[in-house]
Structure 1
């Protein structure tokens, strides 16, 4: 075995089989499909935001749908998250991350909505300064 072959054989994760050429071509084609879909969704989002193809008030909804689609493309084609039995830990980690981000957003919105209520009125503050 040559030195390059030894390095390639050692450069795999535990439990993975060494890649063959057909697997490499297949994974490159999947990355190309993912890249094409990601670019397409991005272009569609910019076109929708800049033109009048969609009814004005529905633009945020359309952009949100495209953003969710973009996340799905990235999770599937680039992070290789699927519902297979070997990806349970990855899906659980992703779900935990989504829950944490949701809690941060909801908590921040709760604090910001009650911040104005708990602040001293300006008239009272001006009276205290005099």
Structure 2
């Protein structure tokens, strides 16, 4: 196909044949957002029901129930990140991914720091029997 006879060459219209710069994408209609939200809701409901079924039935070997629930929880987080928080791999999504990574890091530091402090307090404090004077 020659560039001289390309009808979209001079029209400056965006179509799905070429890459687009961030902010230069064709506008998405409301139906796209509604479809994504409903699809995410459907996946979330299916994963939640699956978690309740796994926990409440004998279909999975008992020691593996915790592993199955962890896998379902990770899948649930993935559905929420993609369908509700719109975290994608697009070039215009870098700030959202960095904000998410920073939030995860802060929560990790708070949880690990709290556990570290409680462990050190438990290890370094005097036992209760030695604190109270005996009559």
Aligned CA distance change for structure 1 residues 74 and 121 (closer, same or farther; 3 Å): same
Is 1:66 the counterpart of 2:72? The answer is yes
CA distance in 1, matches of 2:126, 2:94: 50
The match for 2:39 among 2, 18, 33 is: 33
User: Once structures 1 and 2 are overlaid, which stretch shifts more, 61-70 or 28-37?
Assistant: 61-70
Aligned CA distance change for structure 1 residues 112 and 61 (closer, same or farther; 3 Å): farther
Relative to its length, the structure with more helix (as a share) is 1
The match for 1:48 among 46, 51, 54 is: 54
Deviations 1:97-122 (A, max 9, x none): 01111111111221222222122112
Which residues of structure 1 form unaligned runs of 5+? Answer: 1-14
Q: TM-score, normalised by structure 2?
A: 0.74
Aligned length: 113
Deviations 1:40-90 (A, max 9, x none): 010111111111222222222211111111111011011111010000000
CA distance in 2, matches of 1:67, 1:95: 18
The match for 1:111 among 117, 120, 125 is: 117
CA distance in 1, matches of 2:56, 2:117: 34
Q: CA RMSD in A?
A: 2.1
Q: TM-score, normalised by structure 1?
A: 0.77
Which residues of structure 2 form unaligned runs of 5+? Answer: 1-22
User: Once structures 1 and 2 are overlaid, which stretch shifts more, 24-33 or 54-63?
Assistant: 54-63
